[in-house]
Structure 1
Amino acid sequence: MAAPSPTLTVLRTYLGPLKGAVATLAALLIVGTGLNLLLPQLLSRFVDSAKLGAGADVGLLVRLAVSYILLAVGVQLLSAAATYLGAQVGWQATNRLRADLMAHLLSLDMQEHKERTPGEMIERIDGDVTALSNFFSQFAVRVFGAALLLTGAVVMFWRTDWRVGAGVTVFVALTLWAMNRVRKGGVEPTQHEREASARLFGYVEERLAGLDDVRSLGAGPYHLRGFLAVQRDFFHKSVLSWRRRARVWQLSMALFAVGYVALLASAVGLYAAGLITLGTAFALYQYMTMVEEPIDQLTNQLQDLQKAGASLVRIGELLSLQTALPEGKRELPPGPLDLRFEGVGFSYGGAEAAPVLQDIGFHVPAGQTLGLLGRTGSGKTTLTRLISRLYDPTTGAVRLGGVDTRDVTLASLRSRVAVVTQDVQLFQASVRDNLSFFDDRVTDGQVEAALAEVGLSEWLSRLPEGVRTPLPAGSLSAGQAQLLAFARVMLQDPAVIILDEPSSRLDPATEAQLTAAMTRLLAGRTAIVIAHRLDTVARADRILVLGAGKMLEEGARADLARDPRSEYAQLLRAGREAEAVLA
């Protein structure tokens, strides 16, 4: 059995739950189409009655005219109601699709995100789904309504004269066939247009993110030329796509020019032969406009369907991406958690790529802090990413509370493991939203308590609206941003905390404040602190030194400090000698 088309799959998935509203919409369209088909009949009777001249029944003419006006107004009201309801249904379906895409992207592992720029992802979630918005909001209304009106008009032609009905039926069939053949030629160029749009978004996002470096290095003209090249590619693909889609309505105009001429010639011939009345001839012309109108609607919708078809292909590709992190089924045990690495090896390209970590094995008892040291590129950050399960180890196992992290649900793991990076992401939102990540269940009192815990009470007291004060991006120092990140962790109350060089860019006074906050934050929790400055891990219980992805040494900090041959002791001596030289 052939697999269902992507269009039908999307319609069934996102319009199926709205079947009540869709049924009401269908009823409005059916009634509106029926009334629309009556209008030419009233016009035919009016023309035939008025043709009698002085012998015409004025009362009948008035009744026919009033009936025509009332029916025409009713058709317009029903059409407006159907359009409104269709938009409601369409936007609900579109928003559900956008939410599903966002949730799917968040479920993917880091490898997928590293291969695509944020700008491209934004274009996929917003641009492609927006291209589907008219498909959802108007496609069902216009296509179903057009199909009803087209079918009804053809039936009325057959009722009037079978020869005219047969000719119009052949004309409609040939027109729809030809337009569908032409329509298919626009899908691939439209897909290329959407891809070029995604590249443009990605280019702009990357350059805006690195704007300070671009300006300071005088690289503006180079990046501007690159932007123009990407923009030019998008422009050319957009023009080509539009031209291919425009062939549909160009063909429609040519075919209907021939169709009207043939119908008018037939009506004149039948009237001259006395086979139809003048009113019937008028009705035939009106029914021809009812054939043209729905085919024009179908033409426009076919162009939107071309856009939707390209977007559906790209959305299907996105939804087909599978994470390399299968969902576990277990929950982490309550209370403090110990951390254990058992023969862990990892490489970003899989088992065949060069290893980043090799045979890493250590144990951090619950409630203790591990200081993680090593040169740049030694694998420190990669090691911590395995704990929060942004990646899974290539070999070996990472265990929290005795449970392999691969067996734990991601929701349970991420709620119990918190990470504070060097670059703290702040949003253009209120202080409370920045700390609670927009969780309405977190109270203002909880936010205030977390800020007090990290020593930001005085800063909070100066804000005009307290925790409800908007926090513009770039308004905080690096130290304040780090303290806000600590407050976020306080609200989450995790069992395991990972700090990535928390004091790397701070002045001594701010560093002292941060150290005090860090002491309160780590109390009673298992922690890993990545550090280049040895003062940062001066209070750690254990030390792990990495070099080229391998363990150089691991043990209790006090024991390693006393052993003059240890890597840690050598680092301490090197640090003291550097301070003496600077002094």
Structure 2
Amino acid sequence: MNPNKNSSNQKSLTTLWKVLRFIGRYRFLLILSILFACITVVMQLYVPILFGDAIDQIIAEHQVHFHKMIYFLGRITTLVILSSIITWFMNMINNQLTYRTVQDIRSKAIRQIQRLPLSYLDGHSTGDIVSRVIADTDILSDGLLLGFTQLFSGIVTIIVTLLFMLSKNIWITLLVIVLTPFSFFVAKFISSRSYEMFHKQSTTRGKQTALIEEMIGNQKIVHAFGYETTASTRFDEINQDLKEYSQKAVFYSSLTNPSTRFVNNIIYAGVALLGAFLVPYGMLTVGGLSVMLSYANQYMKPFNDISSVITELQNALACASHIFELLEAEPESADSASELTDIKGEVTIDNVSFSYDPSKELIRDFNLNVTPGMRIAIVGPTGCGKTTLINLLMRFYDVQSGSISIDEQNIQEISRHSLRHSFGMVLQDTWIKSGTVRENICIGKPDATDEEILEAAKRSHSLGFIRRLTDGLDTMLHEDSLSQGQRQLLCITRVMLCLPSMLILDEATSSIDTRTEVQIQEAFDRLMQGRTSFIVAHRLSTIRSADLILVMKDGKVIEQGTHDALMHAGGFYKDLYNSQFAKVTE
């Protein structure tokens, strides 16, 4: 026995159980759907009995009971109409059940993304996560809808048909029951192989979406560096894998229907043959044989439908498995309810160590004491741990050993919202959401008045270009509406509006022209008065007035002091500083 197949079957059943737990929230709709399915099936299966009774009214030539035939045909018409109406209601309920379930899964996925640590998001491409939330849930929705529409009706049809057949003739019914397991065996044999292919198809689709998102989002760089051919080659390789997995998945799933039809045709022939022997002996009437043949066909039809449903469900469950990997990812550690109040800005970093990869040390044995109102500049070569230190301060990542305290309170004992609300943060990477200029500025202070917004824009020197926009503060912004410099000015305006207790500036003016940078630097100087501030800078001219400069290298502070003291010491900082201004000096 192949352990991989057992593993796939077990995974498929586990995923199905997880989906059923979501569906269980709407058990009333589920029960109603099953009830309607039972009613419609009973009505539809009672119709052949009435047809058989109508046929038996033809006794011989010139001996036809027309009034009884009309009576039976009237009952048939009534049942068909009622069955159609109930089927319509059942389909409406199934739609509600499916789309509410998928809505819940998508909502939970979005909430889960908000709770996931950055380490998870850094380890998975944006396109892959988007594919799970959008494409995989769409496929799950289609599979569930088909399942609810045909699976319940199919199962009820099989059970009720057998009961009706037993009421007519036990021998034919036993023949059908004996041959039935062959259909199940064929369907199970094929579906166990198709699930694995559908799962690989879903995973590869996520990779493809990630690559497309990456290439389109960075098309200028792709063109600038002549990366088009390589990008196309990468896409072709993934596309080839997707084609192979899709073809194999479709091939295996396409075998299900004809295979079960073959078995079902054998059952149908067996019923016809046995019935033909029973009629001459009076054990079955001609009308009864037509009923049994009709039931044999009705009994087999759900197997064909269910085989199609199984194919879709295998695809849906493979996608659901992909979604549940996201939903069950380990969230951030439990948050504290403690709040920061009356913030002074004293920061203590005690013997902190941290690394993204356990095999590669980054920050180790880091110690720092910051008194309220100090300006701390952090400098050093690329990859030395400057931005990582900021990530630890904001608890985007948690320290692996040691502790960080604010006002003598360990930040792991403070709620993340309260901690992050206490910092104003401007990063080199800017983020503008789709919305108005006003909405983008007010992210940290939603109740701000227009006067406060305009005053903050004036201090950040963004007021000029905002006034030049078509609708001022009401101008709708999209990803490429503004230049990089204008986007960064808006991010600075957000901080100017919030007036936080502490500041983190990570290359905050990297995309701004020199003249505006000088003006913003003056505004930041005023803003930093009395506020503890952490400044990450590559341009060392911007941090000469810092109270303390930390020089980092390989995750450790190798020098610290004021600009003048460090220059006088003649160490690594002086080399960095001189390397930037050597040409100017010459």
SS at match of 2:432: coil
Q: 1-side partners of 2:300 and 2:206: how far apart?
A: 37
TM-fit CA distance, 1:461:
3.4
The aligned counterpart of 2:339 is 332
Contact 2:144 2:313 in 1 (8 A): no
Q: 1-side partners of 2:22 and 2:567: how far apart?
A: 66
The amino acid of 1:87's aligned partner reads: N
The amino acid of 2:23's aligned partner reads: L
SS at match of 1:344: strand
TM-score, length-scaled by structure 2? 0.88
Contact 1:187 1:306 in 2 (8 A): yes
SS at match of 1:239: helix
Does residue 35 of structure 2 align to residue 27 of structure 1? yes
Work out the percentage of aligned pairs sharing the same amino acid: 22
Deviations along 1:229-252, one digit per CA (max 9) or x if unpaired, are 221111111111111122211211
Q: 1-side partners of 2:93 and 2:446: how far apart?
A: 31
TM-fit CA distance, 1:300:
1.4
The aligned counterpart of 1:298 is 306
Contact 2:488 2:512 in 1 (8 A): no
The aligned counterpart of 2:385 is 379
Does residue 494 of structure 2 align to residue 488 of structure 1? yes
Contact 1:368 1:541 in 2 (8 A): yes
The aligned counterpart of 2:158 is 150
Q: 2-side partners of 1:440 and 1:264: how far apart?
A: 76
Give the alignment partner of residue 411 of structure 2, picking from 405, 408, 421. 405
Q: 2-side partners of 1:401 and 1:182: how far apart?
A: 64
- Cα distance change of structure 1 residues 570 and 308 upon mapping to structure 2, 3 Å threshold: closer
Q: 1-side partners of 2:367 and 2:285: how far apart?
A: 97
The amino acid of 1:474's aligned partner reads: D
The aligned counterpart of 2:6 is none
The amino acid of 2:338's aligned partner reads: E
Give the alignment partner of residue 515 of structure 1, picking from 517, 521, 525. 521
SS at match of 1:126: helix
Contact 1:447 1:467 in 2 (8 A): no
Give the alignment partner of residue 204 of structure 1, picking from 212, 218, 234. 212
Q: 1-side partners of 2:444 and 2:267: how far apart?
A: 60
The amino acid of 1:175's aligned partner reads: S
The amino acid of 2:228's aligned partner reads: G
The amino acid of 1:246's aligned partner reads: S
SS at match of 2:334: coil
Contact 2:379 2:538 in 1 (8 A): yes
Q: 2-side partners of 1:466 and 1:279: how far apart?
A: 82
The aligned counterpart of 1:506 is 512
* Root mean square deviation, CA, Å: 3.1
Q: 2-side partners of 1:296 and 1:444: how far apart?
A: 65
SS at match of 1:546: strand
1:324-473 mapped onto 2 (5 Å cutoff): 325-336=332-343, 337-350=345-358, 353-435=359-441, 451=457, 454-473=460-479
Deviations along 1:521-580, one digit per CA (max 9) or x if unpaired, are 54554321111123433554432222332213334x477479665866776676665434
1:540-555 mapped onto 2 (5 Å cutoff): 540-555=546-561
The amino acid of 2:75's aligned partner reads: S
Number of matched residues?
576
The aligned counterpart of 1:175 is 183
1:103-142 mapped onto 2 (5 Å cutoff): 103-142=111-150
Contact 2:444 2:494 in 1 (8 A): no
The amino acid of 2:102's aligned partner reads: T
- Cα distance change of structure 1 residues 128 and 576 upon mapping to structure 2, 3 Å threshold: closer
TM-fit CA distance, 1:31:
1.9
TM-fit CA distance, 1:47:
2.2
Greater shift, 390-399 or 570-579, is seen at 570-579
TM-fit CA distance, 1:131:
2.8
TM-score, length-scaled by structure 1? 0.89
The aligned counterpart of 2:269 is 261
Q: 2-side partners of 1:431 and 1:178: how far apart?
A: 61
Q: 2-side partners of 1:48 and 1:284: how far apart?
A: 14
Mark the runs of 5 or more structure 1 residues left unpaired by the alignment: none
Deviations along 1:69-107, one digit per CA (max 9) or x if unpaired, are 232122222222212211211121112222323333443
